[in-house]
Amino acid sequence: MTPAQDQARARYRAAIAAHWDGQSDGAHDLGHLDRVWANAVEIAREEGGADLEVLLPAAYFHDAVNLPKNHPDRARASVASADWASAFLAADGFAPAKIAAVAHAIATHSFSANITPETPEAAILQDADRLEALGAIGIARMFHVGGAMGGLLFDAEDPLAQNRPLDDKRFSLDHLEVKLFPIAQTMRTATGRELALARVEWMRSFRARLLREIT
């Protein structure tokens, strides 16, 4: 990163920390934003053609409006985040011609919004954020969110749901089959897909080890 990008990153990080003041969500914290930015940089370097000046604020502001997964307005959270980011960047002196690109990347990153990315930056941000749902960090976040929503770790009688419907609202482990394993097939970039498949393989090995320990 250039010195200017380092300064912008520090400024954006401080801005979102101030905006989130008083909020507590271990799955969507500053560490999450740092990792999404690192994922985005890795994908952008491999894929080429992306504007890091657009990706940087998009990565740090993509969860500016962070609503619980069971909130009735969850599907609008990414658009609200895009609006917040646009207002902040305009006041911060960001290049006006690039604000729309940042907003589009933020709006499209979410599963719930169901908006198709139309730019390299939007595709990369979506992949970078979805990688956070996979691998070791994905497992950690899955159990954290499940517990916060009042769910159990797994169904002790039937952990693989062989004789019952999958229900990831009740059992966190079910979320692997319901949502997380299929993520690799939704990745927009070749680099993102490669990284995702490797993380899914690790998650399958984790589940196999877990099953050995509990059965």
Q: What's the pLDDT at 75?
A: 66
Kindly report, residue by residue over 160-201, the tens digit of the pLDDT: 999 999 999 999 999 999 999 999 999 999 999 999 999 999
For residue 91, is pLDDT > 90?
yes
For residue 155, is pLDDT > 80?
yes
Q: Which residue has the tokens 């502001």?
A: 61
When pLDDT is averaged across residues 29-36 and rounded to a whole number, the result is: 94
The interaxial angle of helices 96-108 and 120-131, nearest 10 deg, is 40
Q: Does domain 133-215 have CATH number 3.40.50.300?
A: no
Q: What's the pLDDT at 26?
A: 74
Structure tokens at 109: 């990153």
H helix runs in the chain, sequence order = 3-19, 30-47, 52-61, 77-92, 96-108, 120-131, 135-148, 175, 190-214
Cβ atoms < 10 Å from Cβ of 9: 18
When pLDDT is averaged across residues 130-138 and rounded to a whole number, the result is: 96
When pLDDT is averaged across residues 144-163 and rounded to a whole number, the result is: 94
Q: What is the Cβ-side half-sphere exposure of residue 36, based on CA atoms within 13 angstroms?
A: 32
* Residue 187: closest CA among 124, 102, 94, 103: 124
d(CA 116, CA 111): 10
Q: What's the pLDDT at 102?
A: 97
- For residue 99, the one-letter residue type is I
When pLDDT is averaged across residues 144-155 and rounded to a whole number, the result is: 92
Taking the domains of the chain in order of start, what are their residue ranges?
1-126, 133-215
Structure tokens at 102: 């940042």
Q: What's the pLDDT at 70?
A: 66
Claim: this prediction has a pTM higher than 0.85:
yes
Q: What's the pLDDT at 215?
A: 86
d(CA 183, CA 193): 9
When pLDDT is averaged across residues 39-59 and rounded to a whole number, the result is: 96
Same fold for the pair 1-126 and 133-215: yes
The alpha-carbon radius of gyration of the chain (Å, integer) is 18
**Answer CATH for 1-126 from 3.40.50.720, 1.10.357.10, 1.10.3210.50, 1.20.950.20:** 1.10.3210.50
